[in-house]
């Protein structure tokens, strides 16, 4: 798959599903930013909620990144993911992700979280997906106003 430049190309939202799972399309976009010729922009592809996604799916992010670099299409990557997530109760997984809040964040992520997200967003959005969507909007709208 082609690399993405996330300084100019917004990743898909956290609620967009791929292989039936929330956040999966976003993980793919963020990892495509790490491929040769891409740019992560303001995103951290290998930590944070992507890491939670990896733990729950049991798909190592580096392994998925390797598959993205090899695959010709997103359909190939989706099929590859589907082969590896048979152990997952999709509804439970999605409910858990949809309910992820900034107050349940592991302590080891707190400093990065506070550095990455402005206090006004952190105080307004307890739901992690709402925060990510608002932060995407803030980042990409500031680009168009330049």
Every domain of the chain and the residues it spans: 17-144
H/E stretch holding 139 reads helix 128-144
Q: What are phi and psi of 38, to 5 degrees?
A: -100, 180
| C-alpha Rg value of the chain to the nearest Å | 15
pLDDT (average), residues 72-92: 97
CA-to-CA distance for 121 and 69, rounded, in angstroms? 34
pLDDT at 144 (0 to 100):
59
pLDDT at 146 (0 to 100):
46
Among candidates 138, 130, 134, which has minimal Cα distance to 98?
130
Contact 111, 44 (CB under 8 A): no
CA-to-CA distance for 19 and 22, rounded, in angstroms? 9
Give the whole-number percent of the chain exceeding pLDDT 90. 72
Asked if the model's pLDDT at residue 145 lies above 60, the reply is no
Left if phi > 0, otherwise alpha if psi is -120 to 50, otherwise beta: which for 14?
A: alpha
| pTM of the entire predicted model | 0.91
Mean pLDDT over the full length of the chain: 92
Lowest mean pLDDT among 11-15, 72-76, 99-103: 99-103
Lowest mean pLDDT among 4-13, 66-75, 81-90, 95-104: 95-104
């Amino acid at each position: 798959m082609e690399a993405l430049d996330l300084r100019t190309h917004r990743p898909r939202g956290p609620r967009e599903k791929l292989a039936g799972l929330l956040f999966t399309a976003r993980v793919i976009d963020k990892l495509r930013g790490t491929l040769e010729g891409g740019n992560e922009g303001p995103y951290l592809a290998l930590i944070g909620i992507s890491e939670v996604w990896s733990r729950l799916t049991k798909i190592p992010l580096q392994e998925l990144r390797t598959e993205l670099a090899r695959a010709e299409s997103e359909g190939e990557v989706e099929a590859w993911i589907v082969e590896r997530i048979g152990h997952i109760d999709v509804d439970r997984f999605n409910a858990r992700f949809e309910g992820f809040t900034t107050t349940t964040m592991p302590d080891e992520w707190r400093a990065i979280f506070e550095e990455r997200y402005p206090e006004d967003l952190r105080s307004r959005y307890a739901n992690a997906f709402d925060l990510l969507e608002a932060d995407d909007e803030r980042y990409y709208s500031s680009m168009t106003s330049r």
